[in-house]
Amino acid sequence: MRTTVGAGVGWAPAVSRRSLRLRPRGVGLYLLPAALFLAVLALYPFIELIHMSVSQVSSDNIFGDWPFIGTAGVQAVAVTADFREAAVNSLIYVGLVVGVGLGGGLAAALVLWRGGPLSGFTLALMVFSWALPGLINGVDWRFLLDPRGMVDTILSVARVPPIYWLVEGRLPLVSVALVNAWTVVPFATLVFRAALLDMPGEVLAAAEVDGARPRQTLRYIVLPLLRPTILVLTILSLLYAFKSFDFIYIMTFGGPGTASTTLPFLSYRLAFEIYKFSDGAAVAVITLGLIILMALVYLRSVHREERA
């Protein structure tokens, strides 16, 4: 900021290249509308959420005063059986969405990598299911997993008796997670595909000339080159899966009982089924704490990639 020429938004024609690039003041104004909007409609609600989690709030005083109770509420809710079950459910859910989503995405990207007559169509078909709202995919799969639906009908050809995917034991949680993963796969495919297309052709050609088999090329050349992509996708899908909500809402509503209730859904149920607003907020705050931990890892990894 050595020159004060053209203070404000205006730009003098004779500024040096250096100051042109590093001038935050004028450009900062471009941030202002979004910043103001988010401050009122996103940051303030966020602070209210934290406020609620350290207060005693039920349906009696939701519109009145909120007595301060400190971290007692957060501590109390964290030791309940419901919370523990939801935490375990969240782990299973996130693990399945990330594992199946990325594994499936990598496999699909490798299959579609070299092109071919149907690969463009296939990709477009897959990305369509990503583009559809979770609401519609959820409704569709809720019926597909019904005993009269697609999956059991296909299985019945092999004389498998009907399976109650959204009712029995841990199956509902696993089913919803797999459906969610089904919509993550196309996104992962796109990102992996872009990384594969960016790969240096000479290296791959050299491997082929040296007589490497496809499996060896994949293991020793392609996968190591994909490392940064895998890292970024892992964190992105982790963050996404942890807060995922609409598939559970539409397909099982957390049930039967609490069998498919994850942490964000527990927070919702506490607040809107039994009106324990501060307990719901406490669960949300704990969930956020966990997510922030992961986000920090993400920021660090991105930072490292950008520097590399």
Partner 1 sequence: MTRSLVARTGTGLLILLYGLPFVWLVATSLKSDTEIFSATGLIFEPTIAAYQTVVNSDLLHACVNSAIIAAGTTLLTLVLATPAAYALARVKGLLVNVGLGSLILLQITPQPATLIPLYRVLGGWNLLGTQLGVVLADTALLLPFCVLIIRPFFLSVPQEVEEAGVVDGASRWRVFWQIVLPITLNGIATGATIIFFIAWGEFLYAITFLSDPAQYPISVLIAGQIGMYGIRWSNMMAIAVVASLPILAIYAFTHRLLRDGLALGSVR
240: exposed, middle or buried (Cβ count in 10 Å: 0-12, 13-18, 19+): middle
Amino acid identity of residue 15, one-letter, is: V
Does residue 180 contact residue 241 with C-beta atoms inside 8 Å? yes
Count residues near partner 1 (CB under 8 A).
Answer: 109
Report the C-alpha gap between 169 and 17 in whole angstroms.
65
Contact set for partner 1, span 197-216 (CB under 8 A): 214
Contact 112, 193 (CB under 8 A): yes
Is 127 among the residues that bind partner 1 (CB under 8 A)? yes
* 1, 2, 4, 13: residue in contact with partner 1 (rule CB under 8 A): 13
Q: Which residue has the tokens 């963050």?
A: 239
Cβ proximity to partner 1: between 149 and 171 the closer is 149
Q: Which amino acid is at 129?
A: S
Q: Which of residues 129-158 bind partner 1 (CB under 8 A)?
A: 129, 131-136, 138-144, 146, 148-150, 153, 156
Q: Which is nearer to partner 1, 170 or 303 (CB)?
A: 303
Task: Pick between residue 106 and residue 173 the one whose CB is nearest to partner 1.
Answer: 106
Figure out which of the listed residues 1, 24, 65, 201 binds partner 1, where binding follows CB under 8 A.
24
Instruction: Read off the tokens for 220.
Output: 């020793």
Q: What is the dihedral of CA 8, 14, 20, 26, to 10 degrees?
A: 10
Instruction: Please report whether residue 260 would count as binding partner 1 according to CB under 8 A.
Output: no
Give the shortest CB-75-to-partner 1 separation in angstroms.
19
- Range in contact with partner 1 (rule: CB under 8 A) among 64-72, 93-101, 167-175, 245-253: 245-253
- The interface region with partner 1, picked from 76-84, 164-172, 199-207, 225-233 by CB under 8 A, is 225-233
Is the Cβ–Cβ distance between 215 and 198 less than 8 Å? no
- Distance of alpha carbon 207 from alpha carbon 224, whole angstroms: 14
User: By C-beta, is 83 or 187 nearer to partner 1?
Assistant: 187
Q: Is 165 in the site for partner 1 (CB under 8 A)?
A: no
Q: Establish if 61 lies at the interface with partner 1 (CB under 8 A).
A: no
- The nearer residue to partner 1, 173 or 196, going by C-beta atoms, is 196
257: its two tokens: 């009982």
| 186 binds partner 1, rule: CB under 8 A | yes
- Give the nearer residue to partner 1 in terms of CB position, either 173 or 233: 233
| CA-closest candidate to residue 173, choices 120, 102, 97 | 97
For partner 1, the closer of residues 87 and 126 by Cβ is 126
CB atoms near residue 286 (< 10 Å): 19
**Touching partner 1, residues 87-126 (CB under 8 A):** 107-108, 110-112, 114, 116, 118-119, 121-126
Instruction: Report which of 123, 104, 97, 102 is spatially closest to residue 112, judged by C-alpha positions.
Output: 123
